[in-house]
Amino acid sequence: MQKAIFELLLPKIIAGMKKHTVYILTMLLIAIATECRAQDTIPRHPLKAYIVGVTIHKGETIPHIKLPMHYAYAPINFKSKRQRRNYDRLVRDVKKVLPLAAEIRTIIIETYELMQKMPDDATREKHLKVLEKGLKEQYTPKMKKLTLRQGKLLIKLIDRECNQNAYQLIQLFMGSFKAAFYNTFASLFGASLKKEYDPTGDDILIERVVTQVLTGQI
């Protein structure tokens, strides 16, 4: 008897759910997000939630979500298994190195803004020495884990992120002597701090991979 009644009511239940699902989900997302921000401690398995805008259409509440840009590329026609392996390796390298390049960009921006507020060259020079020491302690272990191939890729991605190559950045903050010294040292390993990023030429495949990594497509 109960089963028969449920079967009769089921279409109405589904219709009601369709009508109010968007509103309920929206309120649920807001509630979860608010609760997560209100907690002082991070839960062991935190829920990922997003507060989104809403649009009212004919009495219905519809979430308004701005989707990230999606880039469409033609499939790559690998001519050999070796080319496929090289591509897969490039994807792994970009995923490993790109965050470092982004960190370096942030450090450069923050350092430049801070130096602009300092009263004189002596104060700036003192700050740079402290910064250089701190960066060596923080990043030397990370850099040691990079292969030579990944190091060369990092040099290119620094130019991509900062619109200046590594040589120019060292020259700007540490002077021409250190820039020349570090570049000579890099040349011993077949690298160059003056290497510039060419997203439409030699580095077109790297740019494709970087773009897809940044948009979560790979």
pLDDT for position 218: 87
**pLDDT, tens digit (0-9, with 9 covering 90-100), for 11-70:** 444 444 444 444 444 443 444 343 333 444 444 445 556 677 778 878 888 877 777 777
pLDDT on residue 29: 40
Calculate ∠ Cα 191-195-200, nearest 5°: 130
Running DSSP on this structure, what letter comes out for residue 77? -
Does residue 54 contact residue 24 with C-beta atoms inside 8 Å?
Answer: no
| Residues 159-193 pLDDT 10s | 898 888 888 887 877 778 888 888 887 787 777 88
C-alpha torsion 56→58→62→68, nearest 10: -80
The total number of structural domains that make up the chain: 2
Same domain, 87 and 164: yes
Of the listed ranges 5-9, 97-101, 115-119, the one predicted with least confidence: 5-9
Give rounded-to-5 percent helix, strand, coil for the chain.
Answer: 65, 5, 30
- In the prediction, which pLDDT does 82 show? 94
Residues 163 and 87 in one domain: yes
How many Cα atoms occupy the beta-carbon half-sphere of 209 within 13 Å? 20
| 69 within some domain | no
| Whether residue 53 is found in the same domain as residue 110 | no
Structure-token pair, residue 29:
């997302």
Q: Which domain holds residue 106?
A: 81-214
Q: What is the DSSP string of 5-59?
A: HHHHHHHHHHHHHHHHHHHHHHHHHHHHHHHHHH-SS--SSPPP----EEEEETT
Kindly report whether the global pTM for this prediction surpasses the value 0.85: no
Q: Is the pLDDT of residue 8 over 60?
A: no
Q: Is residue 72 part of a domain?
A: no
What does the pLDDT read at residue 44?
47
